[in-house]
Structure 1
Amino acid sequence: MSTDTESALARTVLIHGPISRAALAVRMGMSPASLTRLTKPFLDRGLFVELDEVAEGVGRPSRPLDVSDAMGPFLGVKLTGGEAYAALTDVHARVLGEAVVPLPDHRPQSVVQAIVDVSALLADQAQAPTGIGISLGGITDGDQVAWAPFLEWEGVPLGALVAQAAGVPTRVANDLVALAEAERWFGVGRGLDGFAVITIGAGVGYGLVAGGEVVRTPDAGVGLGGHIPLDPHGPLCQEGHRGCSQAMLTSGSIVAQAQTVLQRPVSYDEVLDLAAAGDPAAAAIVDASARALGRFIALAANLTLYSDVVLGGEGMRLFAVAEQVVRDAVKQGRDARASEVRLHVDDSGFPAWARGAAAVAIQDAFDRLP
């Protein structure tokens, strides 16, 4: 196994590459000679590649280092209650292919087979994955799923089951943790000391990066962001909380409110379309949800003392329809002297979740470097 310093070197080149040796030496806090000694084995094994020369100031040109695309590909799978969304990525989490397969039921063997099937489907478009990452809502230790409410699971060794069936190393992560890791390593969080992640869709998610690391505690997978009070006059959630984040921001709650007012079945996108077109009933519901999202964002920034917030999830079209309402609510929830909240929006939906799962597989591969 690699030493801690070698592992840190590999991760630094992956996250910050392409990177010059001079910049890498500064980040690693080591001399040029020590850096040359450490990078040589990675170059010899083909894990690192040298790119074309670039000029750096008045000194001699340098050849930046990057991680080779030969390491990979990786499969990321996001599990919901009904589907397995998958993305095949390279080592830099760039998506090479996407697919989705239905889950016939929630039996572990059925879910494992769905993951194997979607892996084979994407392998037909490229090469077979060298590692698999799986994300889901709930609590997991990387292998064992202790609790997954959408799948109605407790104590399922999903990682081991998939690794045995697929024949490749497999890691399982909470979906918010995986998404935050993808943003930290490959997304808007690169180089940031800390930021919050808020997702909306079928549920409400909240994650946090602090001190350059994703916060991982036993409570990270419980879904504590789901019942934060946001509107004292809002609807009730299923657990009886009035105006909490679940009641105000989930697609199911927004649809239920619209159907009650409009007296007919509607979809989430239809509610947003009606609001955008100026329908007063739909606009009132969407604006109330947008204000609640703005309050949530302001709370996250106030309580973490970080002013960067990543927004994602399959329900994030709400932000596109009512962006100004969200931003006004954020401003109202902040002290005038506080830093401006910087919003980073990922509206790609389920592909972002799957890419987050792939990031978990990539991290696992770097932890296992020989």
Structure 2
Amino acid sequence: METTSVGAPLSGLERGTLRELLVHGPRSRAEIARELGMSRASLTRVTRALVDQGLVTEGALELRGATGRPSEVLHVRPEGRRFLGVKLTSDRLFAVVTDLTARPLAEYEEALRSRSVEDAVAQIGGAYERLSREHPDISAAGIGLAGEVVSVSGRQIVLQSPFLGWREVPLADLVGERLGVPATAENDVRALTAAEHWFGVGAGYESMVLITVGTGIGVGMVVDDRVVVGAGGKAGNLEHLPIDPGGPRCQRGHRGCLASYLSNAAIVAALRTPGLDYASVLDLARGGDPAALQAFRDAGHALGVLAATLANTLDPEKIVVTGDGIAVTELARAEVDAAIATHRSPDEAPLALDIQPFEFAEWARAGAVLAIRDFLRF
């Protein structure tokens, strides 16, 4: 079984070179030097260090332009490092191990024993031990969860995670101590946005928006090739965007906001029928029930307003929609598109939404991408 060795921390130039190869694919030395503004001598030293650490390999000669001589091309060695990614929901843990290019090597999931911090950290440790038997030498771990995650004096703190009932939890520190490897934590929507930007449907774009709909509503944004965090780590908090001032109240008392229409709970509440859950309302809508269909139409209108607002504000190259409430795009696509058309200038090009039914394993992979980005300190 092949193992990997963890060398000395990477220098800034080494991290920049490795990121260039990870995100943009194989490059010649000349291409990397131009992109990063490095001298030939500096790049030679950087390349040697990355090869010695098993992170980069030298490939065959390739003609990289219309003219000129063939150049030796540098490639990332995917097996050079392994990373653990974790996604926590209110009741389950999803985990993956990936290589350096975020390709999943193994997956694991189980129910949470409880919502206590101690039990969750212990279960993350158990998942790490289980997965590392087949994929040893995991270099770092990343955890994504719903809630507000901020950096305080260099420490990542979960300020609050309503679905887990957590407040002011130093999750990254606790997991790092349990696993014995560096760990990082982040809001799950922001983590997924970063993963899709580097290694998924947003690869190659300098700007994108990712909207998640379902139990909660989340917005992740990339502007100028960077994930937007905000001064307080709360960028993208648009759950209470006004939709209709005469609409129903959300759980926080706002009337007619996005959350009062688009969340799964709001769709269920619209039927005013005790005993229903989201799956039941979805079945009713697919069966043609008028009240259920209207609830989804109202949700579709709200989603369209949100998408148009983000498009008008950020002018992104791509807007991705995902989440466990993605059925709204199936049942109310006409309402989504009509709301977008109403709130966009007639002179604007049609807004194409990229609908992506990501499974939870993809959210766990996003945790591994957090660890990769932390490894590169990006």
State the TM-score, normalizing by the size of structure 1. Answer: 0.88
Alignment of 1:191-210 (within 5 A): 191-210=204-223
Letter in 1 for 2:370: V
Helix, strand or coil: the match of 2:186? strand
Aligned residue runs from structure 1 range 36-47, under 5 A: 36-47=44-55
Map residues 206-355 of structure 1 onto 2, 5 A cutoff: 206-221=219-234, 224-258=237-271, 260=272, 263=273, 265-355=275-365
Task: Give structure 1 stretches of 5+ with no counterpart.
Answer: none
Structure-1 residue corresponding to 2:17: 9
SS of aligned partner of 1:332: helix
2:109 equivalent to 1:100? yes
The CA RMSD measured in Å over matched residues stands at: 2.6
1:301 Cα deviation from its structure 2 partner = 0.9
Secondary structure of 2:85's counterpart equals strand
Conserved in 2, the CA contact under 8 Å of 1:295 and 1:330?
yes
Pick from 159, 184, 190 the counterpart of residue 146 of structure 1: 159
Does the 8 Å CA contact 2:144/2:187 hold for their aligned counterparts? Answer: yes
Residue of structure 2 in register with 1:183 after alignment:
196
Inter-CA distance 22–246: structure 2 relative to 1 (3 Å threshold): same
Pairing 1:78–2:78 present? no
**Once structures 1 and 2 are overlaid, which stretch shifts more, 199-208 or 319-328?**
319-328
SS at match of 2:244: coil
2:73 pairs with one of 60, 64, 73? 64
CA distance in 2, matches of 1:31, 1:224: 42
Q: TM-score of the superposition, structure 2-length normalised?
A: 0.87
Question: Cα deviations across residues 4-53 of structure 1 (Å, max 9, x unaligned)?
Answer: 23221121111111334443333223455653443222123321023455
1:25–1:200: structure 2 CA closer, same or farther, 3 Å change rule? Answer: same
1:109-134 superposed Cα distances (whole Å, 9 cap, x missing partner): 11101111222333345335321101
SS in 2 for 1:75: strand
In structure 2, what residue type is equivalent to 1:42? Answer: L
Q: Kindly state the Cα deviation for residue 267 of structure 1 after the two structures are TM-superposed.
A: 4.0
**1 or 2, which has the higher strand percentage?**
2
AA partner of residue 113 (structure 1): A
Query: Displacement, 1:206?
Result: 1.5
Question: Hey, what's the Cα distance between the residues in 2 that align with 1:123 and 1:231?
Answer: 51
Question: Match for residue 115 of structure 1?
Answer: 124
Distance of aligned partners of 1:64 and 1:145 in 2 relative to their CA distance in 1, 3 Å threshold: same
- For structure 2, the 5+ residue unaligned runs are 1-8
- Tell me the CA shift for residue 287 of structure 1: 1.5
Q: Give the partner amino acid of 2:111.
A: P
Work out the percentage of aligned pairs sharing the same amino acid: 37
Instruction: Specify the alignment match of 1:158 in structure 2.
Output: 171
Alpha-carbon distance change, 104 to 223 in structure 1, aligned in 2, over 3 angstroms: farther
- Name the aligned partner's letter for residue 3 of structure 1: S
CA distance in 2, matches of 1:321, 1:125: 43
TM superposition shift of 1:205 = 0.8
Other-structure match for 1:130: 139
What is the number of equivalent residue pairs in this alignment?
A: 365
In 1, the alpha carbon distance for the partners of 2:77 and 2:87 equals 26
Deviation at 1:160, TM superposition (A): 1.7
2: distance between equivalents of 1:356 and 1:314? 16
